[in-house]
Amino acid sequence: MKLTLRQIEAFRAVMQAGTITRAAELLHVSQPAVSVLVANMETVLGYQLFRRQRGRLVPTGEAEALYPEVERAFVGLDEISLAAVAIGHMQAGVLRLVAMPVFAGPPLSEVIARFANAHPGVSIVYEVQPRLTILNWVATHRCDLGISIEPADHPSVQSRPLAIGVAVCVLPRGHRLARKPQVTASDLDGERIISLPAETRSRRELDRLLEQSGARPVRRVETRTNQALWQLVERGVGVGVVSRFALTGTPAERVTVRPFQPAFVSKALMLNARDRPPSRIVAAFCAQLQAYCDTLDQA
């Protein structure tokens, strides 16, 4: 026979209240119920917990030795209860986010900063990985949310559209093409170009358009992030064609941005595991990220 939680609660209440009557009030039960619980606990333990002296309950030495252990256990339960409430109110918890390098720029950083300030008790783990790694991490629950580009072809991953980014051409200040209202694929013939890696969807689309136009740019630098591409353009290394979405909020004192033709777009997706519904924290972050991206689309 083992002790029950209700017996231990009755013992703790009597130790705290000093009488059966007040212990019953604490537990919202009858006095006989408390007496039975304590008596049953004594039977299981094989020793007495309380003695009656002049109408009062006096804890035995065994009860005095047992009470600190019981109290430590209940303090742990209280902490669990507080943590559960905090998680429910998004005052505690962890958000594990992973994004492709092309999205590791000002828009995502802005949303993360706003969310962190609004939920100071939430820890955020933010990593940057290639698309296939993101799909694997989402599917295996290594992260809660992935930000990637289409397609998200994994049976264990579901996706939701986040934003559509139209390609633009980023030029150093004073560049000859900055005088044009828009830059075409054929304009890049012979130009030094900074590009994303060949396996990215936007790079493949750009290469297709360049080939169709007969343009042969000079490949100077290949980089995985739009931020690095932008910074290299600022320093006059070359020109680049990137998604406008990923560069929103980037200072443009030393570059000129022009529409790129033929136009092509890249679609950002939010990814999560099919077999795990998003937590309240993840859902709140997704809503905030979506709202922010919607404002960019309207700008």
User: What are the average pLDDT values for consecutive 10-residue runs of the chain, which has 299 residues?
Assistant: 82 86 88 90 88 81 84 67 53 80 80 90 87 89 88 85 86 92 94 88 89 92 85 91 70 82 86 87 90 70
Show the tokens assigned to 219: 């490949």
pTM of the predicted model as reported, rounded to 2 decimal places: 0.61
Domains and CATH numbers, the chain: 5-88 (1.10.10.10), 93-162+268-298 (3.40.190.10), 164-266 (3.40.190.290)
Given this model, what pLDDT does residue 247 score? 62
Distance CA 192, CA 210 (A): 13
∠254-255-257 over CA atoms, to 5°?
155
Per DSSP, the three-state class of 41 is helix
Instruction: Name the packing angle between helices 280-298 and 106-118 (round to 10°).
Output: 130
Span 158-173, pLDDT tens digits:
999 888 878 899 999 9
Nearest to 249 by CA among 285, 200, 292: 292
Spatial neighbors of 180 by CB under 8 A, at least 6 apart, are: 187, 258
Distance CA 271, CA 94 (A): 17
∠168-174-177 over CA atoms, to 5°?
45
CA distances from 2 to 5, 6, 11, 40 (A): 10, 12, 15, 10
Show the tokens assigned to 239: 């020109």
Alpha-helical (H) ranges within 179-257 are 201-213, 226-234, 244-247
Spatial neighbors of 162 by CB under 8 A, at least 6 apart, are: 147, 267, 268, 269, 270, 289, 290, 293
Given this model, what pLDDT does residue 296 score? 67
Please give the single-letter amino acid code of residue 191: E
102 and 226 Cβ atoms separated by less than 8 Å: yes
Distance CA 17, CA 19 (A): 6
Place of tokens 């909020």: 249
Given this model, what pLDDT does residue 177 score? 93
Given this model, what pLDDT does residue 225 score? 80
